[in-house]
Structure 1
Amino acid sequence: MRPKVVVVEGRNDASRLKQIYPDIKIITTNGSAIKEDSVQ
C-alpha cells in the first residue's frame, strides 16, 4: 500500500488534521506558493 499524504494550505489546517488524525502525513503549502523540495 502506498503511503497517503494530505496537502493543506496553511498550518491551522495542518494542526486541525493532526488533532483528528495524529498519524497523518501532511504537506503544508502556505497558500499557492509550494516549494520544489516539498514536491519531491
Structure 2
Amino acid sequence: MKKAIAECLGTFILVFFGTGTAVLGNGMEGIGTTGIGLP
C-alpha cells in the first residue's frame, strides 16, 4: 500500500510542477524550451 501511495504522490508532483513550469515559462521572455525542460 505504501508503494501505491508513493507512486501516486510522485506522479502528482511531477505533473503539477511540470505543467506549472510550462505555464510560467510561456509568460517569460527568453526562457525557451530548454529552461522549461530543466526545472
TM-score, scaled to structure 1: 0.29
| Greater RCO, 1 or 2 (C-alpha within 8 Å, sep 6+) | 1
Judging by fraction of residues, say which structure has more helix. Answer: 2
Which structure has the larger Rg over C-alpha atoms? 2
TM-score under structure 2 length normalisation: 0.29
